[in-house]
Amino acid sequence: MSIYDYFVQLRRYLLWQTNKVRTLERRLSVLEARLRELESQPRTTIERIEYKFDQLKVETLEGTLNIGIAPPGAGGTIEDFAVEPVKTVVPNPEPVLMRPIQEKVAAYLNSEAAETLKRLEQQYNRRLDDTYRQFILQDIARQTDERIRFYLQEKANQGYVPAGDRDETVENEIFQKVKADIEQSLDAFLKHLPSGEEST
């Protein structure tokens, strides 16, 4: 290879390289222009969002849901994608083991609780008529679901996850706690019931 051929080849390489550099410079200037255009547009800032789903209770859900923001030039505005708001009621789901425990508590209230109440009447020397007894047991029955939920939540906070629809051990454990609460409240009620308020 002669020196002339070397310089011809070097010149070709330099021309190719010069063209390549110019092409890259043009692309860079286009990208810089687009970057300046994007920087000049208003920004949407989203602060850190922390979700605590265990504390979330949704009873009704209504409004318009917009997913994302269309970039400029994408055609159409966000309003074009809006749908009519529809009121949606989200039911509060019952815990898995709730129903079997409710049934056990209801069976207890319909049978043994009345006997416990009569025994406590004798212990504290009080006399209640059947209507008053029924009123007391109905009042307690209205409060039992809340206690069952409390104990199920307590169990869940300890890391318990039911394997299926039934778990006899946990059902019995929570039933016994609710039963103890019922008996304790009956005891406290009769112990603090003034002598003149008993019904005969």
Per-residue pLDDT tens over the stretch 28-40: 999 999 999 988 8
More confident residue, 26 or 195: 26
**Per-residue pLDDT averaged across 175-187, rounded?**
90
DSSP letters for 121-176: HHHTT----HHHHHHHHHHHHHHHHHHHHHHHHHHHHTT---SSS--HHHHHHHHH
Task: Write out the H or E segment, with its range, that includes residue 112.
Answer: helix 112-123
Burial of 128-152, coded b for 16+ CB within 10 Å and e otherwise, reads beeeebeebbeebbeebeebbbebb
Q: Which is nearest to 187 in space by CA: 110, 122, 138?
A: 122
Spatial distance between the Cα atoms of 184 and 55, rounded to a whole number of angstroms = 29
Residue 44 φ/ψ, nearest 5 degrees? -105, 120
- Residue 16 binned pLDDT confidence (cut-offs 50, 70, 90): very high
- Residue 154 binned pLDDT confidence (cut-offs 50, 70, 90): confident
* pLDDT surpasses 70 at 22: yes
The overall pTM is greater than 0.85 = no
**What is the SS3 assignment for 80?**
helix
Spatial distance between the Cα atoms of 58 and 43, rounded to a whole number of angstroms = 31
- Report the relative pairing of strands 60-61 and 88-89 from DSSP bridges: antiparallel
CB 42 within 8 A of CB 71: no
* Mean pLDDT (the chain, rounded): 80
